[in-house]
Chains A and B, each alone.
Chain A
């Protein structure tokens, strides 16, 4: 496998979220939940539904709706509305210095972070221009170190460098706890690992730790009915972030590093399961009209038995071929040896194609 070749694998979480999304879009759920479900469907399958929004004055909802809309121009208007409202909230806080005004500003800012990632990944637009980021970061108090680190990460995202990224980002990502920014950190830790090779190890550790934490948390959730809207919103956001990282398609990292981290750090049951399933599929043959798969090791055993039988008895059976009124003379054929050779050739062929088939099935995954 060459270093540049991409390994892809399905992620059960994304698929579960995807399966749920249709029910959510059609069911009795909040507009935000429906919009996130629609967005997941859109990024995964390019399918979109029309969702009516009652609260036209909420720019976060309008941005989510615009991302799946066919009109690309509307998104920029919505982003401008978001920025305008954010500036108003910032001024409110600066004028009043009240705690409620501050929390309004922070909550709205945090909502914008994930929207920024969505806009940039889907449409190439940015919610936070670089000049604004430092302006907002100046207001943040000491409790918002995670948010400050996320802002720094957004600023350097997309600018590949040979340097290591600032230690404050790595430190905050490693000890990350703010749930409102979790999806953003899952995504940013991954993409920065690609951009900044010197910090790759630390960033990927943070990424996989968060992925493991989220998957462990949500794997119990996905099987439950009647989930509350905030839980579903969380699920859809995580699924979108994971999808952007490349789970289900192709990861953005060189393959040897990915497999290393999958083996050493991730140990996700879903991946182990997928690997096992793919191997079982590829390293066996299925007989036509019989729902039974013969693994390669059984073929090898049969091959050996046939060879032993041939060596022990040297049985030659007469073979007469009579076709189209032409008769061939009777020949004595070593039947066991003949079958053993046939099986060996077949097995050699399957082994030769094994690597390619594993990759092919692994990429295709369970979405069939």
Chain B
């Protein structure tokens, strides 16, 4: 292995002729090629109607084909599959190594007769990477507010076992505990009380049944420094979550749901879990003890607008979220969910809506942002070009200027790579990327492996302007959005998705119920 280049399981082919073969044809032709290869190597294959796998060293290897007609490119990516939700770090690493070995055997070039396509193996390089160790971490609540470089901050956090974070947490908080089972004296309530009492006053425990009434009667002054903590068994907690989450979020009361096993087994033993819990609770309360700030030269714009469909159990809703990227522009970041925007999702990756609905959405966004700003737009699904242009035009009429539109996906063309096999790269602050064609890039946002999605890079496509090229600066912005979730400090190196995209994905899990007209929730409550 070269010290500067890292093999991947992604291949790219440029279409030599004028006619671009269809994706189904290419996939079929590639599968024939792989079957021959498997036959030669004595590998077993699994073939179903829509899926085909090759088994290599006990790992099922699946492949995906994706076309990029604008750049006349074809992507071929290999990934491990199986019962992935059960895989821990060793299983994930083993699977990734198997797929890499499989590709080594397959060769660095795959030629198929269809359209004279030659797929060439893509390599990540040290040169194409973003080093964020110099980005700043500020502690706005310490007296006086201080800052340090991210590299130093993470080092200090490791050396002090999160003590630097505990010291930066203000102590005048109120934790209102609610439970149905673990009342005074019943473990793990005393354990939770002992931990939280280091950072404020613990009140309760009260019955979950009275939580809504208690919240409604709470004075604004008390509400501002309070968080409701729900402690219950995992199975019961899910029901309470469904019942409470939207109610308290729309009442602007921060809530934290803690499974009793986490309190018993993890909180007392792992300082990182305690730090995560405290940072998340305080961030929800609107007083984040630590903030990651990217260098200001990255941000020429004022913020990011993320647009996504929100599929709830009862309705197909549409959501808009605005995140400020510049310090001091305004802390009021909100997520709005609309029930009157009509749209279609013909595939899992695309979204369509009529011109009237684009117009309606633009007016709603104008109300959400409410000021003249220059923004970037993030999409969680691909939009039609004319819809994007119409939206940008409408926003401009309302003095909201759009700089760029990105489509971000964590599932498109998933491939694994060798980057983390070098111990120096493990948990490092340097994130490699690969730009392919003019508008597509893959950004590796995880430098640690814990769960299956950590193996893969983010897919980022510049959707607008049409003639622009994606640059490292664009990727730095997306990386900041992913790492700005530093309140999950223990998971910092595995924070993968951009925060707004992550929030919409999380919203899908929430029981939104039947909303009428619009639902507005402060962003901080949805983290």
Interface residues of A (CB under 8 A from B): 28, 30-31, 54-55, 57, 88-89, 92, 96, 98-101, 103-104, 107, 220-221, 224, 226-231
Not counting A98-B367, A221-B144, a sample of 7 additional A-B residue pairs whose C-beta atoms are within 8 angstroms of each other reads: A88-B399, A100-B330, A103-B332, A104-B370, A224-B146, A228-B138, A228-B139
Please judge, given known A-B contacts A226-B146, A230-B145, whether A96 and B370 are in contact too, CB under 8 Å.
Answer: yes
Choose from A100, A227, A229 the contact partner of B371 (Cβ within 8 Å).
A100
Q: Which residues in chain B, 113-162, are within 8 Å of chain A measured between CB atoms? A: 134, 136, 138-140, 143-149
B112 at the interface (CB under 8 A from A): no
Please judge, given known A-B contacts A89-B371, A98-B367, whether A55 and B144 are in contact too, CB under 8 Å.
Answer: no
Q: How far is it, in angstroms, between the C-alpha of A232 and the C-alpha of B53 when the chains are bound?
A: 59
Q: Which residues in chain B, 351-402, are within 8 Å of chain A measured between CB atoms? A: 366-367, 369-372, 374, 399
What is the distance, in angstroms, from B142's C-beta to the closest C-beta of chain A? 9
Choose from B134, B147, B297, B330 the contact partner of A227 (Cβ within 8 Å).
B147
B300 at the interface (CB under 8 A from A): yes
Is there an interface contact between A100 and B140, defined as CB atoms closer than 8 Å?
A: no
Is there an interface contact between B144 and A231, defined as CB atoms closer than 8 Å?
A: yes
Is there an interface contact between A88 and B372, defined as CB atoms closer than 8 Å?
A: yes
Is there an interface contact between A100 and B332, defined as CB atoms closer than 8 Å?
A: yes
What is the distance, in angstroms, from B260's C-beta to the closest C-beta of chain A? 38
| Complex contacts, B149 vs chain A, CB 8 Å | 28
Complex A-B: 13 CB contacts under 8 Å: A54-B296, A92-B372, A99-B370, A100-B330, A100-B332, A100-B369, A100-B370, A107-B330, A224-B144, A227-B144, A229-B138, A230-B140, A231-B146
Is there an interface contact between B300 and A226, defined as CB atoms closer than 8 Å?
A: no
Choose from A55, A96, A221, A228 the contact partner of B140 (Cβ within 8 Å).
A228
Please judge, given known A-B contacts A28-B134, A54-B297, A92-B399, whether A103 and B147 are in contact too, CB under 8 Å.
Answer: no
Q: How large is the interface on B (under 10, 10 to 19, 20 to 34, 35 or more residues)?
A: 20 to 34
| Complex contacts, B136 vs chain A, CB 8 Å | 28
Is there an interface contact between A228 and B146, defined as CB atoms closer than 8 Å?
A: yes
What is the distance, in angstroms, from B369's C-beta to the closest C-beta of chain A? 7
B327 at the interface (CB under 8 A from A): yes
| Complex contacts, A220 vs chain B, CB 8 Å | 143-144
Is there an interface contact between B148 and A226, defined as CB atoms closer than 8 Å?
A: yes
| Complex contacts, B372 vs chain A, CB 8 Å | 88-89, 92
| Complex contacts, B367 vs chain A, CB 8 Å | 96, 98
| Complex contacts, A104 vs chain B, CB 8 Å | 330, 370-371
Q: How far is it, in angstroms, between the C-alpha of A363 and the C-alpha of B372 when the chains are bound?
A: 50
Please judge, given known A-B contacts A30-B327, A31-B296, A103-B330, whether A226 and B147 are in contact too, CB under 8 Å.
Answer: yes
Choose from B145, B300, B327, B370 the contact partner of A54 (Cβ within 8 Å).
B300
Please judge, given known A-B contacts A54-B296, A92-B399, A228-B140, whether A101 and B370 are in contact too, CB under 8 Å.
Answer: yes
| Complex contacts, B370 vs chain A, CB 8 Å | 92, 96, 98-101, 104
Is there an interface contact between B144 and A228, defined as CB atoms closer than 8 Å?
A: yes
| Complex contacts, B134 vs chain A, CB 8 Å | 28
Q: How far is it, in angstroms, between the C-alpha of A227 and the C-alpha of B138 when the chains are bound?
A: 9
Q: How far is it, in angstroms, between the C-alpha of A321 and the C-alpha of B370 when the chains are bound?
A: 98
| Complex contacts, B144 vs chain A, CB 8 Å | 220-221, 224, 227-228, 231
Q: Looking across the interface, which residue of chain A has its beta carbon closest to that of B298?
A: A54
What is the distance, in angstroms, from A5's C-beta to the closest C-beta of chain B? 38
| Complex contacts, A229 vs chain B, CB 8 Å | 138, 147, 327
Choose from A54, A89, A228 the contact partner of B147 (Cβ within 8 Å).
A228
Q: How far is it, in angstroms, between the C-alpha of A108 and the C-alpha of B24 when the chains are bound?
A: 56
Bits for B287-298, please: 1 = Cβ < 8 Å to A, else 0.
000000000110
What is the distance, in angstroms, from B327's C-beta to the closest C-beta of chain A? 7
Q: How far is it, in angstroms, between the C-alpha of A101 and the C-alpha of B146 when the chains are bound?
A: 30
What is the distance, in angstroms, from B323's C-beta to the closest C-beta of chain A? 14
Q: How far is it, in angstroms, between the C-alpha of A104 and the C-alpha of B373 when the chains are bound?
A: 10
Q: Looking across the interface, which residue of chain A has its beta carbon closest to that of B366?
A: A96
What is the distance, in angstroms, from B477's C-beta to the closest C-beta of chain A? 14
Is there an interface contact between A55 and B300, defined as CB atoms closer than 8 Å?
A: yes
Residue among A88, A89, A98 having the largest count of chain B Cβ atoms under 10 Å: A98
Q: Which 5 interchain pairs have the tightest Cβ spacing?
A: A100-B370, A98-B370, A228-B145, A104-B371, A228-B147
Please judge, given known A-B contacts A30-B327, A92-B372, A98-B367, whether A231 and B145 are in contact too, CB under 8 Å.
Answer: yes
| Complex contacts, A99 vs chain B, CB 8 Å | 370
Q: How far is it, in angstroms, between the C-alpha of A96 and the C-alpha of B143 when the chains are bound?
A: 38
What is the distance, in angstroms, from B301's C-beta to the closest C-beta of chain A? 10
| Complex contacts, A88 vs chain B, CB 8 Å | 372, 399
What is the distance, in angstroms, from B154's C-beta to the closest C-beta of chain A? 15
Q: Looking across the interface, which residue of chain A has its beta carbon closest to that of B330?
A: A103
What is the distance, in angstroms, from A59's C-beta to the closest C-beta of chain B? 13
| Complex contacts, A101 vs chain B, CB 8 Å | 370-371
What is the distance, in angstroms, from B417's C-beta to the closest C-beta of chain A? 31
| Complex contacts, A55 vs chain B, CB 8 Å | 296, 300
What is the distance, in angstroms, from B133's C-beta to the closest C-beta of chain A? 12
Residue among A55, A88, A99, A221 having the largest count of chain B Cβ atoms under 10 Å: A55
| Complex contacts, B399 vs chain A, CB 8 Å | 88, 92
Q: How far is it, in angstroms, between the C-alpha of A224 and the C-alpha of B143 when the chains are bound?
A: 10
Q: Looking across the interface, which residue of chain A has its beta carbon closest to that of B135?
A: A28
| Complex contacts, A54 vs chain B, CB 8 Å | 296-297, 300
Residue among A28, A100, A230 having the largest count of chain B Cβ atoms under 10 Å: A100
What is the distance, in angstroms, from B478's C-beta to the closest C-beta of chain A? 19
Q: How far is it, in angstroms, between the C-alpha of A296 and the C-alpha of B328 when the chains are bound?
A: 57
Please judge, given known A-B contacts A92-B371, A100-B370, whether A227 and B327 are in contact too, CB under 8 Å.
Answer: no
| Complex contacts, B145 vs chain A, CB 8 Å | 227-228, 230-231
What is the distance, in angstroms, from B331's C-beta to the closest C-beta of chain A? 10
Q: How far is it, in angstroms, between the C-alpha of A36 and the C-alpha of B251 when the chains are bound?
A: 41
Q: Looking across the interface, which residue of chain B has its beta carbon closest to that of A28?
A: B134
Q: Looking across the interface, which residue of chain A has its beta carbon closest to that of B295?
A: A28
| Complex contacts, B296 vs chain A, CB 8 Å | 30-31, 54-55
What is the distance, in angstroms, from A2's C-beta to the closest C-beta of chain B? 43
What is the distance, in angstroms, from B386's C-beta to the closest C-beta of chain A? 28
What is the distance, in angstroms, from A46's C-beta to the closest C-beta of chain B? 28
Q: How far is it, in angstroms, between the C-alpha of A230 and the C-alpha of B144 when the chains are bound?
A: 10
Q: How far is it, in angstroms, between the C-alpha of A104 and the C-alpha of B332 when the chains are bound?
A: 11
Q: Looking across the interface, which residue of chain A has its beta carbon closest to that of B140?
A: A228
Bits for B159-203, please: 1 = Cβ < 8 Å to A, else 0.
000000000000000000000000000000000000000000000
Q: How far is it, in angstroms, between the C-alpha of A226 and the C-alpha of B367 when the chains are bound?
A: 39
Q: How far is it, in angstroms, between the C-alpha of A104 and the C-alpha of B138 when the chains are bound?
A: 24
